[in-house]
Structure 1
């Protein structure tokens, strides 16, 4: 692949995830600090990600894949997104904030598939080349956290600037997308059904008892995952962790490290042990958050952040590999679409709502009783671990 093409695709990935990371991590803190949103309203705002994930396959399958070149619809969605992000900065109450963030996420979530489509169509050997393109997305998310920490927007109550930063980056990517390589619609002229889009043909995988157990566990483990995305930054700011967003970016650094180690661990331990390690890491992380503080036990907070690589990679990346193994050649894409819809759509939506209700329950006059709050996702992760450990029987697939 030409160096110029590599740079363009890498820059596309960098901006795609820089935009998301610039506002998503700190939105809970912004909502509580700036527009006095409740914990339940915070959950509703984060739930827009899941609603966007549920609707994204329809936007891609019914519109982008049939009528428009991927790079053009990518550009249009990001330009519209830039306008929405900028508009958000003028909202002073949740009732006006929520509709805008909902529309934005319905527009943004399809772009995650579009950048992959643009990249894959240009790569001669995607299995070898895609990883070094995609890693720039994670670097973009990390840099966004460092920028927020560097400017101390959290401690100064200036998190509205995160939406302005994301709006500028979205406008840049929107314009840049029109200069990406031509990526014509893949299903032009083909009759694509609703069943094709949502991957109902992959439901036959659920007839396999082991895959059904994995599928249910994947949905349930998204409940504690939602606690992290929705509450962790607010928690760290409330207990006095300085430059919390910048420190949380180390979670993505560990994600890169452990992602590189996944092939080794997968061969050594197999899917069941890998998934159990991931679930156990979620339990440990929340216990560490529950007992850590910004003073003498700050090491607990750091360790909980760094565990993100194991929490995410050992469960979600391993789960994607397991799904790839269990699916037949004809339903591989449908199977990945189904598990993504179930986890990032249904599972995380339930998780955001549960996290909001529990956090609201332990709301104090000043701040929250975080030790009590974190025991809930720790307990849920432990329960899923136990369920999976006693129910799942691994069938090793020879490579």
Structure 2
């Protein structure tokens, strides 16, 4: 339910906005999530979690968020487009902290059996897939009504959260709340050259990542594919397939090969989009979407595991994961949304598939350059120490 709420509207929002005539605001709309990742973490994720139990925060945030979602379709119009973007920011500030809260409740409920977490997280991906399939099946991919679908499940999740385990709030650490919020100890990890290069490349690769989330749906629609939501759900099915193998692959090959494969996959995906069309090259679109499992799991899941191995000896795992989210889903995707908006502004009001081809070469070349930079500069110091 947690990821169904997000996936119901996020996947095809770009297509819905283009359909109603506010495609010029797609970049701004998809900038709200990154901004909310930063603001929501500061205002709610760290501060409020010290005074309110995770369960009750889930109840409050999803019920209030559901009420906002019900009002969203009336704002997705040319007259109210700017208002819609600001209301979306308000909603995302409420929603983004619930992702971490859901993880916290699950992990604290497991106790020492945190190795079971990937199986629970897999149901989040299943929820995202279900949202895409339902939206596509109902013919709502290009409709603002996607927000009402999300609203119903958000309210249901808020009520269901009353039955969740009543895990305690985080115990205050020795340092002050300002030091915790700004991840002071986690930033100190970047004194390690390898981790600094990883954070830099993770931020950079998140720039082309943002363009996929914002513009994949109108691109797929321009190719003549009607079930846009169901088509993009193929990417999450691929993600699910690779998720369970990631711990084994990480132990077998180490972090650098996995991260590099993930970066190269991003370049390949955008190159496929740059040649895909609704005719003989339709296969390139489906293959590009299906690469999502490699793109996401090999970089972001492997990156989270790597961050944990660096941060755990220092006892700042939670801060380090928050810092990684700040740089990737915050800084990187914010830059990507704005750069994507500038590129999209160069396209006609109703882009053809040929117009889209020119746009996708930019993130393809950028991802390839970042992969080359990573290959030349990154060295897995911890794996080398272990081998020695």
| Both proteins in one fold, TM over 0.5 | yes
Q: 2:215 aligns with which of 231, 237, 240?
A: 231
Partner Cα distance (2:247, 2:167) in 1: 31
Partner Cα distance (1:335, 1:189) in 2: 15
Q: 1:350 aligns with which of 326, 335, 347?
A: 335
Q: 1:282 aligns with which of 246, 266, 273?
A: 266
For 1:11, the equivalent position in structure 2 comes to none
- Give TM-score, length-normalised by structure 2: 0.93
Contact 1:67 1:185 in 2 (8 A): yes
Secondary structure in structure 1 of the residue aligned to 2:245: helix
For 1:306, the equivalent position in structure 2 comes to 290
Partner Cα distance (1:374, 1:290) in 2: 5
For 1:10, the equivalent position in structure 2 comes to none
- The Cα of 1:188 is off from its aligned counterpart by 6.4
User: What do the CA deviations read for 1:208-267 (whole angstroms, capped 9, x no partner)?
Assistant: 122111111000000110011000011001121120110111111111111112123223
Contact 1:65 1:188 in 2 (8 A): no
Contact 2:11 2:229 in 1 (8 A): yes
For 1:129, the equivalent position in structure 2 comes to 116
User: Are 1:330 and 2:330 matched, yes or no?
Assistant: no
- The Cα of 1:395 is off from its aligned counterpart by 2.2
Contact 1:64 1:185 in 2 (8 A): no
Partner Cα distance (1:126, 1:284) in 2: 37
For 1:169, the equivalent position in structure 2 comes to 153
User: What do the CA deviations read for 1:339-384 (whole angstroms, capped 9, x no partner)?
Assistant: 1111111111001111111111133555461111100000110110
Q: 1:326 to 1:149 in 2, by over 3 A?
A: same
Q: 1:296 to 1:200 in 2, by over 3 A?
A: same
Q: 1:190 to 1:393 in 2, by over 3 A?
A: closer
User: What do the CA deviations read for 1:319-338 (whole angstroms, capped 9, x no partner)?
Assistant: 11111122233222221111
Partner Cα distance (2:289, 2:113) in 1: 31
Partner Cα distance (1:317, 1:267) in 2: 13
Partner Cα distance (2:334, 2:271) in 1: 23
Secondary structure in structure 2 of the residue aligned to 1:89: helix
Q: 1:238 to 1:307 in 2, by over 3 A?
A: same
User: Are 1:70 and 2:54 matched, yes or no?
Assistant: yes
- The Cα of 1:184 is off from its aligned counterpart by 2.9
Contact 1:198 1:337 in 2 (8 A): no
Structure 2 runs not aligned, ≥5 long: none
Partner Cα distance (1:326, 1:20) in 2: 30
Partner Cα distance (1:182, 1:190) in 2: 24
For 2:138, the equivalent position in structure 1 comes to 151
Secondary structure in structure 2 of the residue aligned to 1:44: helix
User: What do the CA deviations read for 1:107-141 (whole angstroms, capped 9, x no partner)?
Assistant: 00011111111112211334222222221111000
For 2:104, the equivalent position in structure 1 comes to 117
Contact 1:64 1:70 in 2 (8 A): no
Q: 1:90 to 1:189 in 2, by over 3 A?
A: same
User: Are 1:29 and 2:42 matched, yes or no?
Assistant: no
Q: 2:185 aligns with which of 192, 197, 201?
A: 201
Secondary structure in structure 2 of the residue aligned to 1:85: helix
**Between 276-285 and 200-209, the greater mean CA deviation after superposition:** 200-209
- Give TM-score, length-normalised by structure 1: 0.91
For 1:378, the equivalent position in structure 2 comes to 364
For 2:93, the equivalent position in structure 1 comes to 106
Partner Cα distance (1:232, 1:123) in 2: 37
Partner Cα distance (2:214, 2:360) in 1: 12
Contact 1:66 1:190 in 2 (8 A): no
Secondary structure in structure 2 of the residue aligned to 1:160: coil
- The Cα of 1:186 is off from its aligned counterpart by 2.0
For 2:377, the equivalent position in structure 1 comes to 391
For 1:85, the equivalent position in structure 2 comes to 69
Partner Cα distance (1:189, 1:203) in 2: 17
Partner Cα distance (1:183, 1:191) in 2: 23
Structure 1 runs not aligned, ≥5 long: 1-14
Partner Cα distance (1:164, 1:189) in 2: 40
- The Cα of 1:145 is off from its aligned counterpart by 0.4
